């Protein structure tokens, strides 16, 4: 089993660049193999009037990012004209990220559902958090309250740091290696558990066996100090002006440091993948030997 995930890098490409069919295939292959696509020259332009937003004081303290979910802006202290200008900046990134996905990943374009767009003006490290919320520990993304039944989480990130500071990740071993390590000790869901969680409105919709396993993998990996320290991993640095993409439900990642980042989340049905058999769902079902949704 390989111990490194692929990283495909294209220099000189921006949000509106044209891509060949060969580029499209290479990008989709890297992502679906659990790797990263990195575009070091794909900068999101922050206007002179928007520079002031690169400051954690715009966070209202309820969470670590300012988010756009449809027309609403959340998590910010900005009001009035400030709120409108901040909204416009984040919405512009949503548009740029979507047009990048349309051009770079045209097979996905008609299937993706745009979810949250967020702006993170706080530093990636330096907050005292519980181990479960500590994203400096390697993990795959899984949402406790929103079961996705195997649907993919595609994320587009851009480092917008104005003072030259890289965003630094650790990228871990391939998903299958991580899952083989932890899945055997994860208990199946209890009978009635999914219905109970939905009835109590802990989850929006029914949690599947897949969602249950993904949450447990997220927790197992984060909680395991030895795994965090000694499992296969490498540092990946994203300089300011770099945009990168990955399926964050598949790439073992940890955000070690950096400040000021834009992020777009997109959901993609399994049917839109070139290789659904490489997805986390297919991998977990192979390991478990039975369907999980
Ligand atoms: Fe994450």
pLDDT tens per residue, range 114-137: 999 999 999 987 665 789 989 999
Q: Which residues partner with 246 through β-bridges?
A: 36, 155
Distance 155 CA to ligand 1 centre (A): 10
Q: Which residues partner with 136 through β-bridges?
A: none
User: pTM of the entire structure?
Assistant: 0.96
Q: What stretch of H or E contains 263?
A: strand 259-268
pLDDT for 2 equals 60
Cα separation, 5 vs 1, in Å, equals 11
Distance 104 CA to ligand 1 centre (A): 22
Distance 43 CA to ligand 1 centre (A): 21
User: What is the overall mean pLDDT for the chain?
Assistant: 94
Distance 114 CA to ligand 1 centre (A): 17
Query: How many residues in total does the chain contain?
Result: 293
Distance 80 CA to ligand 1 centre (A): 31
pLDDT for 81 equals 93
User: Residues with Cβ < 8 Å from 51, sequence gap 6 or more?
Assistant: 162
Residue with structure tokens 């060949």? 20
Q: Which residues partner with 7 through β-bridges?
A: 36
pLDDT category, 205, cuts 50, 70, 90? confident
pLDDT for 41 equals 98
Lowest mean pLDDT among 65-69, 233-237, 269-273: 65-69
pLDDT for 18 equals 96
Q: 221-250 pLDDT, tens per residue?
A: 999 999 999 999 999 999 999 999 999 999
Residues with CB under 5 A from ligand 1 (ion): 141
């Amino acid at each position: 089993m390989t111990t490194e995930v692929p990283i495909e890098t294209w220099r000189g490409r921006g949000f509106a660049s044209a891509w060949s069919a060969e580029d499209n295939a290479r990008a989709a292959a890297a992502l679906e193999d659990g790797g990263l696509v990195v575009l070091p020259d794909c900068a999101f332009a922050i206007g002179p009037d928007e520079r002031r937003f690169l400051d954690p004081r715009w966070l209202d303290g309820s969470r670590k990012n300012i988010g756009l979910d449809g027309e609403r802006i959340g998590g910010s202290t900005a009001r009035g004209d400030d709120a409108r200008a901040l909204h416009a900046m984040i919405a512009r990134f949503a548009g740029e990220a979507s047009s990048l996905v349309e051009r770079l990943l045209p097979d996905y374009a008609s299937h993706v559902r745009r979810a949250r767009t967020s702006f993170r003006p706080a530093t990636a490290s330096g907050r005292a958090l519980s181990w479960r919320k500590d994203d400096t520990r390697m993990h795959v993304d899984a949402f406790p309250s929103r079961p996705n039944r195997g649907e993919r989480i595609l994320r587009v990130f851009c480092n917008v740091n104005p003072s030259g500071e890289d965003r630094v990740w650790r990228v871990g071993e391939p998903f299958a290696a991580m899952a083989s390590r932890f899945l055997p000790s994860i208990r199946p869901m209890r009978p009635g558990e999914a219905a109970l969680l939905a009835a109590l409105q802990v989850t929006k919709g029914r949690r599947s066996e897949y969602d249950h396993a993904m949450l447990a993998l997220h927790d197992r990996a984060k909680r395991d100090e030895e795994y965090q320290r000694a499992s296969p991993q490498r540092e990946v640095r994203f300089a300011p002006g770099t945009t990168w993409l990955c399926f964050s439900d598949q790439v073992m990642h940890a955000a070690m440091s950096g400040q000021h980042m834009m992020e777009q989340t997109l959901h993609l049905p399994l049917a839109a993948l070139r290789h659904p058999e490489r997805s986390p769902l297919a991998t977990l079902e192979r390991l478990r030997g039975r369907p999980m949704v």
